[in-house]
Amino acid sequence: MAKGWENIARYQPRVTKLLTNSIEKKRLAHAYLLEGKKGTGKKEMSLVFAKSYFCENLIDYQPCENCKNCKRIQSGNHPDVHLLEPDGLSIKKWQIQALQEEFSKSGVESNKKVYIISHADKMTTNAASSLLKFLEEPNANTIAVLLTEQVHQIISTILSRCQVLSFQPLPPQAIKDELTKLEIPADLATLVSHVTNDIEEALEISRDDWFAEARLKVIKLYEVLTTRKGQAPIYIHTQWMSHFNDKEKQDIGIDLLLYLYKDLLSMQIGNEEQVIFKDLFPQFRQHALQTTQRSVIENITSILEAKKRLHANANPQLLMEHLVLTLQEG
């Protein structure tokens, strides 16, 4: 896997270019807000940025990864790089005040300091007010990096004092490529890459026996719906509900079924490269000829409606039985 800036640039080229240009030109802001979905590389970038700021052998913008500063930042024990995480559910005022005490001291080994505040949207009102004072009167050579998945929850006075860098969701192909390198089977990697855009979560899902079994259960339901229509409600009762036995799992099951019917539609309209369940190509080709696009679109609509009803706390078993009755009519 590529190191440092190159690794991030593969998925976040725009924000990488902005930051590396600033490093090369020595025109750094005193506060950055990195915002975007989980797994898009925000924390990774904040640490690479800190390495570039402290590296003893910096080449252009690239940290050497071998000097004392780079190694200590990597291991999380550099005295002038502070990572602040929520204490429980929120970031408390005392945590920001402790940081402010650090702000007022000279750097342990230089005058430089970097503070990384993870989940900055979880600051209490008092914590945010305390941080605002620092942002209004920044110390020279001190840089704050705020990370958030919920930028709309950051108060406007903090937003206005930060350079906001927006991270894009990772494309499914990027997730699939990383999983394939880790020897995850291609069929599973393709599906997981559409379930999440967080590489770590994707790897966790890929190695979860429950998910692999869920994939097989969904394929089996599709086969029952298309070849033994009357047995679909029995399949829900005997096979489906015991596996998808809580709301989160039921949601995943409905999502996988949705992807499968979207694949059938992709096959009908000639977008074979977009098919996720590639091992079902022969069945899709056959079924694509046996049913109309309108019917498949109606099935997709029914699945989306079932997903909405699940989130509205409908009874899961009755919901699935009603859904398969609707699907088998199509």
The CB density around residue 219, as the number of other CB atoms within 10 Å, is 17
The domain over range 4-166 is classified in CATH as 3.40.50.300? yes
Query: Which pLDDT score is estimated for 148?
Result: 97
Measured CA to CA, the distance from residue 272 to residue 264 in angstroms comes to 9
Give the residue extent of every domain in the chain.
4-166, 208-329
Quickly state the pLDDT bin for 1 (edges 50, 70, 90): very low
Segment 289-314 shows an average pLDDT of 94
Asked if 254 contacts 303 with a C-beta cutoff of 8 angstroms, the reply is: yes
Query: Which pLDDT score is estimated for 3?
Result: 59
Give the predicted TM-score (pTM) of the model: 0.70
The domain over range 208-329 is classified in CATH as 1.20.272? yes
- Phi, then psi, of 266 in degrees rounded to 5: -60, -40
Instruction: Indicate whether 329 pLDDT > 70.
Output: yes
Q: Of 31-35, 36-40, 255-259, which range is least confident?
A: 36-40
Q: How does pLDDT run across 37-48, given as a tens digit for each residue? A: 888 889 999 999
More confident residue, 286 or 134: 286
| Helices (H), ranges, the chain | 4-9, 13-25, 42-54, 68-75, 93-104, 125-136, 156-159, 172-181, 186-195, 199-206, 209-227, 232-235, 241-243, 247-268, 281-290, 293-311, 316-329
Query: Which pLDDT score is estimated for 293?
Result: 94
Segment 73-92 shows an average pLDDT of 93
Residue 81 tokens read as 């790089």
Where b means 16+ CB within 10 Å and e means fewer, 156-191 reads eebeebbeebebebbebebbbebbeeeebeeebbbb
Closest CA to 113 of 100, 132, 123: 100
For tokens 């379930």, the residue is: 195
For tokens 């033994």, the residue is: 228
Query: Which pLDDT score is estimated for 120?
Result: 96
Residue 48 tokens read as 């690479």
The yes-or-no answer to whether 4-166 and 208-329 have a common fold is no
Measured CA to CA, the distance from residue 11 to residue 16 in angstroms comes to 9
**Cβ neighbours of residue 320 under 8 Å, at least 6 residues apart?**
236, 240, 241, 250, 306
Q: Of 6-10, 134-138, 169-173, which range is least confident?
A: 134-138
Q: How does pLDDT run across 157-191, given as a tens digit for each residue? A: 999 999 999 999 888 888 998 899 999 998 899 99
Instruction: Indicate whether 143 pLDDT > 90.
Output: yes
Measured CA to CA, the distance from residue 135 to residue 120 in angstroms comes to 14
Instruction: Indicate whether 323 pLDDT > 70.
Output: yes
Q: How does pLDDT run across 187-244, given as a tens digit for each residue? A: 899 999 999 888 888 999 999 999 999 999 999 999 999 988 789 999 999 999 999 9
Instruction: Indicate whether 29 pLDDT > 70.
Output: yes
Q: How many CA atoms lie within 13 A of 215 on its CB side?
A: 20
Instruction: Indicate whether 307 pLDDT > 90.
Output: yes
Measured CA to CA, the distance from residue 243 to residue 4 in angstroms comes to 41
In angstroms, what CA-CA distances link 244 with 199, 210, 217, 218? 24, 9, 10, 10
Measured CA to CA, the distance from residue 28 to residue 268 in angstroms comes to 52
The helix (run of H) or strand (run of E) holding residue 163 is strand 163-166
Q: How does pLDDT run across 102-126, given as a tens digit for each residue? A: 777 765 667 889 999 999 999 999 9
Proportion of the chain above pLDDT 90, given as a percent? 74
Angle between helix 199-206 and helix 172-181 axes, rounded to 10 deg: 50
Q: How does pLDDT run across 13-22, given as a tens digit for each residue? A: 999 999 999 9
Instruction: Indicate whether 277 pLDDT > 50.
Output: yes
- Phi, then psi, of 220 in degrees rounded to 5: -65, -40
- The mean pLDDT value of the chain amounts to 91
Segment 262-282 shows an average pLDDT of 92
